[in-house]
Amino acid sequence: MTAVPMTSLDTSYDVLLLDLDGTVYQGPEEIPGAKEALARCTARQFFVTNNASRGPEAVAKHLTQLGMAATADAVVTSAQAAARLVAARIPSGSMVLVVGAEALAAEIANVGLVPVRSFEDRPVAVVQGFSPDIGWRDLAEGALAIRAGALWVASNVDTTLPSERGLLPGNGSLVAALRTATGQEPLVAGKPASPIMDDACRLSRASNPLVVGDRLDTDIAGANGAELDSLLVLTGVSSVVDVVLADSALRPTYIANNLDGLHLPLDDVRFGGSEHWHAEVLDGDLVVRFTGADGDPLTGIRAVAPVAWSAGNVQRIRAADEATAPFVAAWHG
């Protein structure tokens, strides 16, 4: 077995708050190496997902089928967070219109509310979460209730959902339809909003957690909002170019290609300078130069991103010379 560095992320934090889609798996398939990386971890693992289409038991079963150790009580979903958010704002026993999967309806029932599917039931709240089966009629019922004054809670507003086929429309795309139809804004339970992060920290009893995910706008923004450290892995939505151009709310503490980064020395995943990588900002461009013989593209990103972040006005990245051009081209995919 490969030795784990004493100063790795896994040994520096007591709980890993792990995103799922794009971080551990894509659709039904494990992201290569995820199972082995998590099996080597000594830190406790909690799985925190914005996907509201499945309950904790189904998520844990999926992880177990992929060969990962997981139990339902170590899974925190945006459906649970949304249900708790609704329950804190309306009387027990109230009707709640569910625009989403049966797993979301079950969470509404679990908090003492009554899930319904029709505006004719006079719901006092609407809760919306992702389901691949949502259609126009479901959105229409939600629009009628929201226009009539019902409280509107969205499990999350991710515009896309990673899958083995590529990026698909996420719950945020469906929320946008109701936003357009009603002119209203929902309360949000999932990342980057605080309810799901608060639930994850409370349920895991973490004293020093690390948030791990693939999206700057949800996982990393949620960590920053909760004042938690974070690791961005490049197996899902966000790219290295996104990292360089990110504003302060979206900047991760660490970056790695995949979950193997949990076991690397801290100096290999934290941002900081390198003697062979140089950058300056000229007229909104981050101009990068590599002066070594054999460079690692991710080391380059870790070295030059802080230069861009300090300047705060970078619009694009370009190479200073032909030797650096292949690295910059690789960053842009």
Active-site residue list? 19, 21
Q: What is the DSSP string of 168-216?
A: EE-HHHHHHHHHHHH----EE-STTSHHHHHHHHHHHT-SSEEEEES-I
Distance CA 71, CA 53 (A): 18
Distance CA 303, CA 276 (A): 9
Contact assessment for residue 114 and residue 143, using Cβ atoms and an 8 Å cutoff = no
Which residues partner with 99 through β-bridges? 128
Distance CA 251, CA 248 (A): 6
Distance CA 128, CA 8 (A): 39
Distance CA 144, CA 194 (A): 28
